[in-house]
A and B are shown apart, each in its own frame.
Chain A
Amino acid sequence: MIWKRKNLLGLEELDPEEINFILDAAGSFKEISTRPIKKVPTLRGKTVANLFFEPSTRTRMSFELAAKRLSADLINLSPSSSSLVKGETLLDTVRNIEAFKVDMMVIRHSSSGFPYSLSNLTDVSIINAGDGAHEHPTQALLDLYTIREKKRKIAGLKVAIIGDILHSRVARSNIWGLTKLGAEVILCAPPTLLPREVEKLPVKISYDFEKVIKEADILYFLRIQKEREKRSLFPSIREYVRLFGLNRFRLELLKKDCLIMHPGPVNRGIELDAEVADGPWSVILEQVTNGLAIRMAILYILSGVRTNLKKVR
């Protein structure tokens, strides 16, 4: 297949073929990070702009390293620097970045749809690094890659996503990615942390954590934010942990080859005990490594689109 999209904004609109295309490409890029000289000239002369309107260390670092290992030039623009002012219109934001003649923009914003709105205003390729509670496609792709690498397949697996689904873009992107590739998704959370009409999504719902962890092949934990307690979404962290936390006593309920995943950073003692996060079931660190490979693959694939189009013309 030939990749035709100029942007990667979300997984909801992708075909299974397109998702597999990215996962297949990531393999070759993973190898580069194992070499003594971790650099290839693939994107030499290309400029990537990181626009992180929301604070992030890990995703931003991951994209930065991905760009640099491909020899691209990278500029970082964050809200604290003067060029991105709150209340700047979408058009002004785009125009300012375009003035730098960048080839690609990586965008993270706290409001859903921001990269979509920008993509309508510019020809520059846009990669969504997380928009509000909407999508985080590169996270879901690296998760899919990790599962595929460990389990050699995705279809037919039972994947439980546990935690604050309501506010999670990671959950949404993973629901799309996993179900498109044939996995069975179970959402496990209190009713207050599940979004409205969630039963219309192609998922199962369960409030019974211990039952879910017995059956699942993959346990995917989401971060719980303490601020949510103030909005009465759960009575207390203590109660949440008692119901939905994976402590070492519950480990014996897990399937033998169960994988434990987390987008990070882990709230030790809340979603997971330290022992669990660092234990043999956990593939959390491999997710990070794979994230770099996936992002290199995406930068590479999207940079090719414009040149392909030029050739066609």
Chain B
Amino acid sequence: MNLLIKSGRVIDPETNLDSRVDILIEKGKITKIGKIAKIPSGFKIIDADKKIVFPGLIDLHTHLREPGEEEKETIETGTKAAARGGFTGIVAMPNTRPPVDSRSVVEFIRNQAERKGLVNVYVIGSITRERRGETLSEIADLKKAGVVALSDDGSPVLNSELMRRALEYARMFNLPIISHAEDLYLSNGGVMHEGFVSTRLGLAGIPSVAEEIGIARDIMLAEYTGGRLHLAHISTAGSVELVRRAKKKGLKVTAETCPHYFSLTDKAVETFETSSKINPPLRPEKDRQAIIKGLKDGTIDVIATDHAPHTLAEKELDYDSAPFGIVGLETALSLAVSKLLKEEKFSPLALAAKMSLNPAKILGLDKGRVQVGKVADLTIVDLNKEYTVRVEDFASKGKSSPFQGWSLQGKVEVTIVGGKVVYSNTEKVNFLQNENT
């Protein structure tokens, strides 16, 4: 509860802080940021020399699978994975069984997170009842129960009229609509990006226009209704351009991408390993470059993981039969450091904005800030430490990752939630036991 983080390079994107200072944490809140000459007694000291102290990372796109699919992941294992990956806050996407379309399910997740969760869990309600895309969920009820956003993710809301009504109605509650934009007719049956690689491999393709048409429609509806739109996992150059134009117009549109879209291309599918099977699919190099450019110029606000665990048995099928989805909580920061910070010269401030401050702002949370008076959610990272990704070490139940065996820099050393160390790579006991269990 009382911590002193010494000599770290402290990053706060909101105030543009990037300095080597100490942080004093008392009763879970930051009470002082600066050079602390005299070390007070009763404080646990964390040596952050040569390390970066980020505001705690927040993932805008996590599938925790509980309730209903606990064989893939639980709130307990998912939050453990989050802590290991440096995330102090994650969302719970509503495509659970039952889906989060009613107050009771929201309350279950919040209670379960309280009981077993290691990091903050923010619940997302579904836009439509049972996620069937036919009628609206009781959004006021969901808001009262504590949801921070609405999404049918996994599926788009195909019916444009319904999407329009959702954007309009949600305005009353200032809730963002997180859209999985996809024209299902165009993507029908596809298992990878439609292009030269899918032609050579003889796999059914998902054309980039399937995503772009969905995004164009959603942006136009957002403009028409004045609703708040957040576009999930954008992956193509065309999508980036559509968002860029929307922002130029001043529309209330934000967008996220995922580490695999700036780290891999569709060539990864050539081995036929199902850890390359994701929706939206991995795209060619020109799209990867456009995603990086979109991150650089602010078109893309957020890097989210789209952590989507499945059981080994489900992913160990032939490419057509295996479900879409890979895990990402435990590799996201390292990929951002290796690919963006190191290779593309992104600053730590920029990374912190994409992975902490901006997600917090979109969800309306008082998080993502390393400032006096704020709750101490912090992530301490060694930017230079190189390590090899091993899915066997993942805390997540899901082990399907295309980054298995990759050598990455940017290891999460300590994750602090509310002033408590929930994960440490340096101490003998790794995970803090949730005191409520």
A110–B189 Cα distance when bound, in Å, is 13
Complex Cα gap A201–B201 (Å)? 12
Contacts of B316 in A (CB 8 A): 89-91
Chain B: minimal CB distance from A96 (Å): 14
* Chain A binder among B192-200, B401-409, B425-433: B192-200
0/1 string, B308-326, CB within 8 A of A gives 1:
0000110011111100000
Partner of A135, one of B194, B202, B317, B321: B202
A113-B272, A116-B272, A196-B195 in contact; A90/B317 too (CB < 8 A)? yes
Given A113-B272, A196-B196, A200-B196, decide whether A172 and B202 contact each other with a Cβ distance below 8 A.
yes
Inter-chain CA distance A134–B318, complex, in Å, is 13
From the candidates A91, A110, A135, name the one contacting B320 in the complex (CB within 8 A).
Answer: A110
A132 within 8 A of B: yes
How far, in angstroms, from A113 to B204 measured CA to CA in the complex?
Answer: 12
A114 in the interface (beta carbon within 8 A):
yes
- The reply to whether B201 and A197 contact each other, CB–CB distance below 8 Å, is no
Given contacts A196-B194, A196-B196, contact A112 B317 (CB under 8 A): no
The answer to whether B362 has its CB under 8 Å from any CB of chain A is no
Q: Cβ of B318: which chain A residues have Cβ within 8 Å of it?
A: 90, 109, 111, 113-114, 117
Number of interface residues of A (CB under 8 A): 27
Does the CB pair A112–B203 fall under 8 Å?
yes
At the interface, yes or no: A79 with Cβ under 8 Å from chain B? no
Q: How far is the CA of A195 from the CA of B199 in the complex (A)?
A: 6
Q: Does B69 contact A (CB under 8 A)?
A: no
Is B205's CB within 8 Å of the partner chain A? yes
Q: Is the CB of A113 within 8 A of B200?
A: no
Chain B nearest CB from A164 CB (Å) reads 12
A133: chain B residues within 8 A (beta carbon): 202-204
Please tell me if B107 contacts chain A, counting CB pairs below 8 Å.
Answer: no
**Do the beta carbons of B199 and A198 come within 8 Å of each other?**
yes
B273 at the interface (CB under 8 A from A): yes
A180 in the interface (beta carbon within 8 A): no
Query: Does A87 touch B at the CB level, under 8 Å?
Result: yes
CA distance A117 to B274 in the complex (A): 10
Question: Which residues of B223-276 have CB atoms within 8 Å of chain A's CB atoms?
Answer: 271-273
Known pairs A12-B200, A112-B272, A201-B199; A196 contacts B205 (CB<8 A) = yes
Given A134-B201, A169-B202, residue A112 in contact with residue B194 (CB < 8 A):
no
- Can you list 10 A-B contacts (CB < 8 A)? A87-B317, A89-B316, A111-B319, A112-B201, A113-B272, A113-B319, A132-B319, A133-B202, A134-B203, A197-B195
Listed in ascending order, the chain B residues whose CB lies under 8 Å from chain A are 194-196, 198-205, 207, 271-273, 312-313, 316-321
Q: Which residues of A contact B (CB under 8 A)?
A: 12, 86-87, 89-91, 109-114, 116-117, 131-135, 169, 172, 195-198, 200-201
If A89-B312, A90-B316 are given as contacts, then 15 extra A-B residue pairs at C-beta distance below 8 Å, sorted by A number, are A87-B317, A87-B321, A91-B316, A109-B318, A111-B320, A112-B202, A112-B203, A113-B203, A113-B272, A114-B319, A132-B203, A132-B320, A169-B202, A196-B199, A198-B199
